[in-house]
Structure 1
């Protein structure tokens, strides 16, 4: 049988897909196979003499040194994983099989690039985490914070923004923005010359880097900011592009590549779905708690706020006042000008009522042309009277109903806690009775409730 002559051993080693690395006792590379250039980005000549630990990802150096010490003590390491920094700054995940040659005083190791596997694992974990966040986040800010953390596990995301596009107003806003150098951009129209607007208009991912900037059209180069790397991906849904995810890096040590672009594009679909779900839940919650015409809290929400306010008042031994108001002759507006004008009047009344009270107070629409106002933390009956008079004067100013000027004169009943009731129903009943008494007396007044239906205080029109 004819004997086969094998190629020189070095040639065979260089044909291997995995890299073979030999490191001396001091940690210097003394031999590397050709595959090292594909995995680490350095040629064999560039790696020889380099200190191994200097190429390891900073976060993995301590445990890598510990593992190297164990190998040199005679313990084999068949499945040790760590990360290296490639010549171009990218991170590569390596699985090592290593052992120590006591005779040669060398560590011999085989490096298998598992970056693709790690990337797929990270994507799957991110998709699961985003889905979980969509189900558990109580509001959009909380959801955005969690998405920021999830994306930060995939790529450098120290500077991270969420841009949302409102089709009704044609406006792009930035409800979540974390940046070490700049505040959130001001909301702007879609025709503005900004990178965020460009992504929404085109529905295309945009990567700006020292390598790509010169290849971009002039109008995009002119929008470039002072970050070294800028990556934005559209949030696409069945309704179109609803926003964008944006990450920025000001450091050459944290670059963005085409792989980062593909990765962020992949998770953006799940992020868009999570945002839409939270927006839908917010809308359903709003519909359940707010009056759709005036955007004021509805009866159910007002009841909850009143119950909580009473609990605080009992605990703190403080007072609160309840104002129940009805618009005099409101039916005439619907009858003479139409229901559209009546709806407009209610919306304008709601705006003026909000302007008459503090942010801590509550204005709600009860039904029809009935409104209630809850005022907390006051010290005398005179303060409730001042609020009622402020409301009465505000509503005595004419309203413009599509060219028709109209007055919305109010009848206001006032009930005080604890003087006129110990619970929400008693207070509402007393304020309601006082309001109807005002109506009987001609309206456009206020009246303080009385347990004995006596002691009426009124303000003349």
Structure 2
């Protein structure tokens, strides 16, 4: 600027000291650098805005989380840039913007959950902490620190779901600390035990201890938990009201990252009803439905026990084999109802003739047995037999008519007449038949001269060995019918022995084959024959342009399961015939399985791996059904004909059939009823959910050509 100074033109220059300004600017740049350095290391997005939400600063993490470059954020409005949508995608108005409200209210915000929008439009949840910037008491902007909580939300949802599952589960759940002090329980725990959560938390699970188990039981339990991290099994505990109950319990040790146990989780459920059902089914499986006496299975078990005790004590006992004389005449003349009443009355009198410690059994039909233990001599057995005969001299009254019963009794004494179950039963049976031959209504001890039946068995054995070579054995097939459609879905292969002089029935020669071991050759012949027949069915189906869906069942005995080369033989026969193994089903009885359950499981598993189905035959008659059923790799259960024959009149038989069907359904098994002869039986079985039936209601066992004809004609049972 020019001016006059003392008459001369002069220039005026103003000088200002800017040292302080330069220092402030340098300090500001240093502060920004420090802020950037600090915020780049904290692992959270940091954004600074003025009061209009214009972004003045954004750290690298904020830019990364939002998908923008830092320079793309500076100068932009925070709301319109990344806060314009709600979590559900609807617009988020500015007036509801939390940042703007912070500016207006002048209050800080901590750990507030909200959502931001990325550059690509993706909405993600965040946790936000916001602080107002103030100068001389006036708000000049805000600082927002935030981080992505997507993973936390996912974990929270999983925890909420887990909590909901636990709280709605029917199983009791208990969580304890490493010190086994209860930390939490679910509602089912309270329902089962009677203890509320408030009563249980802080206590130890020992508040439930019933004292049914000894110290060793719990030591083994904890030994398993320490070694394997888990224990599961059945245990008896006590409810708050003092009631002792059984439960199925699983205890699992929960480990931290260093493999240290930090908690224990226990899951349990009350198995009282299951135990009661098992007990009921077991009782019915062990006892005769008509008379309530021990059945054949329980009789054999008691006889085995008697042999063990007598051998140990060097004592004697007797087996009385009792068969009613001419009982068939009662059924034929007066009907089965009167016959059943007579059997019930006889059972009562037999029990009255025996001592309390003796075992009176009904083997089936009109056959009974009595085991008389600890006898001093044979006369004691004779006395019991005499009392039985005398007790039956008094008539039974049925509808004002007198029914008379007489019996033939054979007696075998241990150890003189046999040292094994089979020998004692066989010899008592021989003695009984000798009474029949001599006029009935008497008793007789077994003697060495009573060999008529033994001779017959030897003769049968000799002829049976030649039956295959002579082509006397024939395969017959009995259809299995689907109860929904009435169509043939399978068939059981049955062996028949047809000699020039007449038919030898299976119940006569099969026991001989089993006793001698020849059953293995018979079963292999049957298996080969049945597989060849399946091939014929395949060819017939192919000609009709269809796939063979009919399954053929073949029986395997206990001796088959014991064969070391069974699996390779089965595989070779199936491969040699070129058939689908899925068309083959193996039927095996419970008694065959329980002789060596572990081997049976292995063998049946191998058969399943080949592709064969497995069915348990005569289910419900064995005495280990419930113990081993869940271990077996099976597809189906066959309800024994013993339960079917009386199902129309016998409530117990119906109860057993219902129980077996319900249990099989829970296990995902097909239920097949054999021996079905009447429509009433069929209708009842259909009503309880049985899947298939087999019996004379559709067809007796038929030879191959008749069976093929049934399939070709599409023969079916009318189901309605």
Please give the range of the TM-score, normalised by the shorter of the 2 chains. Answer: 0.3 to 0.5
Return the structure number with greater relative CO, CA threshold 8 A, min gap 6. Answer: 1
Structure number, greater radius of gyration: 2
TM-score, length of structure 2 as denominator length: 0.28
TM-score, length of structure 1 as denominator length: 0.42
